[in-house]
Amino acid sequence: MRKIIYWVHTSVDGFIDGPNGEFDWTTMGPGLSAYSESLDQRVDTLLFGRPVWEMMVGFWPDAESMTDDPHVTAFAPFWRATPKIVFSRTFEGDAWTSRVISDNLRDEVLALKAEPGADLLLTGGASLAAALTDHGLIDEYHVAVHPVVLGGGRRLFAEPKQRLNLRTVASTLVDGAVPVTHYEPSV
Q: Do you know the residue count of the chain?
A: 187
Residue-wise pLDDT for 131-178, tens only, equals: 999 999 999 999 999 999 999 999 998 777 788 899 999 999 999 999
User: pTM (2 decimals)?
Assistant: 0.94
DSSP string, 121-172: EEES-SHHHHHHHHTT---EEEEEEES---SSS-BTT-S-SS---EEEEEEE
CB 83 within 8 A of CB 93: no
Report the topology of domain 4-185.
Dihydrofolate Reductase, subunit A (3.40.430)
Domain coordinates in residue numbering, the chain:
4-185
Residues 64-88: what's their mean pLDDT? 92
Collect all residues with Cβ–Cβ distance below 8 Å to 68 and sequence separation of at least 6: none
Beta pairing partners, 159: none
